[in-house]
């Protein structure tokens, strides 16, 4: 079993990934400054004897070095993961999302890491009308966050070509699952809708609700990361990670109401003004993930939503 590093280990995706690696018997060092990560996620990981936490930022060379030194693979998930916040604070979010990524890559190079897997975003596609989104399409960023993630992809490809550090950039679509935070101002749609419906409150939709998203379950994303770390064909590539199926927000809410039951059926959608930088349509072509990684999504939306509802009912 290898020693591995997960940046952003106290976050939603990073926490699930770190847990998956620990359950496979690996030693995991997590790096997180808790700017968006949760102490309770780190506490769950701390129950595993092979988990170590380095509390610090990805922009801090010393913290990055302590977390990455001796690691075979690095999974880089730490970021300020918010389109709206990047619109408000482009300089600060760029310093973390791009500057921090370069620091992680440079530290990994100097430490002799064998593979770096980076979390990137479907926001790179912007408002390009062509659907589904394919990796060879020209990026059309609509927000600083999207531009930052595209820059991270380019740095990953550069470090692969220029320095021989094998890097893989995964473009996550809309990841969901248990432990996703519904309380943040910029919370993802599924936990926000779920907790409001369970509380007997109307779900709030920004815009008309006809915007589409490809919702991919966290367990499928964890598996995609593991495949990216081991596939011989993956270094230097940018790869979509999604379910391959898209739903409108109205369809998503209807599916949630079906899972929750009669108490949610009477709750009509409350529409508010669209948010700057939000995408109108997003669906993924996952043929490259299938070909390069051997990836195949396993969790259907209805099954995944049932698990989310169960989690929040017990929370």
267, burial (CB in 10 Å: exposed 0-12, middle 13-18, buried 19+): middle
Helix (H, G, I), strand (E, B) or coil at 284: strand
173 is written with which tokens? 């679509």
SS3 content of the chain, % helix, strand, coil (to 5): 45, 15, 40
Helix (H, G, I), strand (E, B) or coil at 126: coil
Which residues are the active-site residues? 145
Alpha carbons 30 and 208: distance in angstroms, whole number? 40
Q: Are 76 and 7 in contact (CB under 8 A)?
A: yes
Alpha carbons 214 and 289: distance in angstroms, whole number? 15
Alpha carbons 167 and 116: distance in angstroms, whole number? 5
180 is written with which tokens? 């996703």
217 is written with which tokens? 């379950």
């Amino acid at each position: 079993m290898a020693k591995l590093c997960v940046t952003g280990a106290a976050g939603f995706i990073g926490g699930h990934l770190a847990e998956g690696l620990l359950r496979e018997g690996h030693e995991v060092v997590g790096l997180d400054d808790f700017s968006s990560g949760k102490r309770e996620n780190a506490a769950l990981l701390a129950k595993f004897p092979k988990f170590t936490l380095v509390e610090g930022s990805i922009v801090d060379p010393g913290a990055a070095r302590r977390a990455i030194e001796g690691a075979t693979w690095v999974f880089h998930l730490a970021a300020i993961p918010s389109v709206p916040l990047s619109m408000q604070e482009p300089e600060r979010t760029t310093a973390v999302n791009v500057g921090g990524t370069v620091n992680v890559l440079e530290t990994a190079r100097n430490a002799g890491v064998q593979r770096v897997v980076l979390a990137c975003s479907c926001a790179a596609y912007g408002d390009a009308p062509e659907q589904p989104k394919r990796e060879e399409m020209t990026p059309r960023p609509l927000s600083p966050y999207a531009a930052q993630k595209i820059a991270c992809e380019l740095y990953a490809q550069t470090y692969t070509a220029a320095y021989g550090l094998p890097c893989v950039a995964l473009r996550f679509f809309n990841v969901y699952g248990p432990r996703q935070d519904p309380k943040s101002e910029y919370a993802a749609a599924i936990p926000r809708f779920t907790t409001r419906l369970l509380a007997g409150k109307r779900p709030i939709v920004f815009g008309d609700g006809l915007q589409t998203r490809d919702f991919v379950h966290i367990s499928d994303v964890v598996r995609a990361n593991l495949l990216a770390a081991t596939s011989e064909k993956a270094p230097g590539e940018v790869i979509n990670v999604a379910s391959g199926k898209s739903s409108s927000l109205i369809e998503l809410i209807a599916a949630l109401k079906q899972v929750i039951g009669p108490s949610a059926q009477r709750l009509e959608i409350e529409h508010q003004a669209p948010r700057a930088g939000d995408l109108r349509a997003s669906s993924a072509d996952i043929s490259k993930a299938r070909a390069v990684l051997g990836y195949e999504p396993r969790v259907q939306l209805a099954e995944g939503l049932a698990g989310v509802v169960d989690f929040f009912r017990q929370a």
